[in-house]
Amino acid sequence: MPKGVPRPSVTLDEPPERVAKALERIRQDPHHAFLHVNERAAEEAGRAQGMWLGKTLSVKDNLAVQGLPLTCASKALEGHVAAYTATVVERCAARGLVVVGKTNMDEFGCGSSGERSAFGATRNPRDPSRVPGGSSSGAGASIAAGLADFALGSDTGGSVRCPASFCGVTALKPSHGLVSRWGLVDMAMSLEGPAPLARDTRGCALLLDAIAGPDARDPVSLQGPAIPPDGYARNLEGLDAKGLRVGVPEEFLQGCSADVERAVRAAIERFGAAGARVAELAMPELRLALPSYYLVCYAEFASAMQRYDGFRYGPRVEAGSLEQATTADRGFFGPEVKRRILLGTHITMKEVRGKWYTAALRAREQLGEAYARAFAEHDVLLGPTMPVQAFPLGERIADPLAMYAADVLTVGASLAGLPAGSVPIKGPGLPIGLQVQGPRGEDLRVLRAMRLHEKLQGGV
């Protein structure tokens, strides 16, 4: 092991046959975490080089891996194979990680439960009668079920934090622009980005070390936050709770279930008992986060989805005219995808733009200002990742507003481009995640606070 490199949460120097065994477990997975298995993975492990030789990586099926399907869990892309590899996957492969398969997800990222896949829902490994969370449902389940050492998902409004919370694993939504989006299927470009999931904070930090940094193929990343000189994993330890200023927005705990509130308050009290200065604060702008997020998301999503016309992408449908062919091809979209395209197209029309979309942009600006004021007084903000624990399959699928409500605590950080992580709180029953938010560019601070939580609650 190179000097100074912290030992990761998994053992190094295991043989590549490990990958073959991992593939066998994936093929027998009852949770439907994977859509596609990389049958070349064992062979690739034999050629891999890097410090993580033989460690396995699952990749959400909206990130391109050359030669593997890229479907976004949609019939509109059924049969499509990626012609190139996403930057984040390339960077992981350069360190020896082997892609074992593409994970299930809500169709085109439209969902928070894992039930909107056109190829069947993923089940929560902690309780198969419940949702794993979404939209990176398979990514979260792959870690929770021990099917992969690391996972790459994407987070637009909570899509790695939600499954991390529901499945009892760890995830980080990086600061917007820190990680290249080249090779990520576009959903909402001002909100989204690839994001790491792992069993613990150290795993997330190691993966962030691999994927963070500017990429000439994603101009936004060229103006992204600076990376710490020694990276994230090397600097993970040593955050002293004494003097840490912890803010707890009162809005974060409103509307949570009793179990979630109890567990999160206990976790926050451990910070206080260790010497942190814990204070509640009011952030009334947070109540506009959910509607603002969805309005912005609808608009950007409708734009992003225009490319699926049956000619550049998607199955070709023979019809009498160009318009009929395009319309028929777009009939392959699922109901939530159609709903978002319709609403996004509607709210950006000239006649009504000011009522919803422009208002949402102004609310987004005010939310950013509110976060800036909060971080002038506090180092990190703590609260629950999700207002509830994993709900039963089928409970919310028929009511879009009930499904959207699950994102109420995660969308704020997305709108403001902040780093936000979810780390499990130990306890009986279904998993509960503690969400840690920090100022934009302070991903290391967020990771260190997540690591501190792990140590305060013991066992890691």
List, by residue number, the catalytic residues: 60, 135, 159
Indicate whether 303 belongs to the interface with another protein (CB under 8 A).
Answer: no
Q: In angstroms, rounded to a whole number, what is the distance separating the alpha carbons of residues 86 and 377?
A: 38
**Among residues 358, 395, 455, 456, which is the contact residue for another protein, using CB under 8 A?**
358
**Among residues 15, 146, 243, 335, which is the contact residue for another protein, using CB under 8 A?**
335
240 burial type by CB count under 10 A (0-12 exposed, 13-18 middle, 19+ buried):
exposed
Q: At CA 49, angle to CA 48 and CA 51, rounded to 5?
A: 125
Minimum Å distance from CB 447 to another protein? 33
User: Between 13 and 323, whose beta carbon lies closer to another protein?
Assistant: 323
Are the beta carbons of 179 and 195 closer than 8 angstroms? yes
Indicate whether 213 belongs to the interface with another protein (CB under 8 A).
Answer: no
Indicate whether 356 belongs to the interface with another protein (CB under 8 A).
Answer: yes
Helices and strands per DSSP (H, E), number in the chain:
16, 11
Binding letters toward another protein, positions 385-404, x by CB under 8 A: ---------------xx--x
Indicate whether 287 belongs to the interface with another protein (CB under 8 A).
Answer: yes
Residues 120-179 that bind another protein (CB under 8 A): none
Minimum Å distance from CB 303 to another protein? 11
Minimum Å distance from CB 292 to another protein? 6
173's tokens: 């939504």
User: Between 345 and 457, whose beta carbon lies closer to another protein?
Assistant: 345
User: Between 258 and 398, whose beta carbon lies closer to another protein?
Assistant: 398
Minimum Å distance from CB 216 to another protein? 13
**Among residues 189, 227, 359, 456, which is the contact residue for another protein, using CB under 8 A?**
359
Indicate whether 363 belongs to the interface with another protein (CB under 8 A).
Answer: yes
Are the beta carbons of 338 and 107 closer than 8 angstroms? no
Name, in order, each residue with C-beta under 8 angstroms of 183's C-beta and a sequence gap of 6 or more.
Answer: 63, 64, 82, 84, 85, 86, 87, 88, 89
197's tokens: 């999931």
Q: For 274-395, where are the alpha helices, taking DSSP H only?
A: 289-304, 322-329, 335-347, 359-377
SS3 content of the chain, % helix, strand, coil (to 5): 40, 15, 45
Residues 67-106 that bind another protein (CB under 8 A): 83-84
Indicate whether 333 belongs to the interface with another protein (CB under 8 A).
Answer: yes
Residue with tokens 């699928």: 397
User: Between 104 and 326, whose beta carbon lies closer to another protein?
Assistant: 326
Q: In what order do the strands lie in the sheet with 380-384?
A: 34-37, 98-103, 56-60, 150-154, 194-198, 170-173, 420-425, 432-437, 380-384, 245-249, 277-281
Stretch that binds another protein, among 146-154, 230-238, 246-254, 320-328 (CB under 8 A): 320-328
Name, in order, each residue with C-beta under 8 angstroms of 8's C-beta and a sequence gap of 6 or more.
Answer: 52, 202, 203, 206, 233
Indicate whether 259 belongs to the interface with another protein (CB under 8 A).
Answer: no
Query: Binding residues for another protein, per CB under 8 A?
Result: 83-84, 285, 287-288, 291-292, 294-295, 302, 309, 323, 326-328, 330-331, 333, 335, 338-339, 341-343, 345-347, 349-350, 353-356, 358-360, 362-363, 366, 400-401, 404
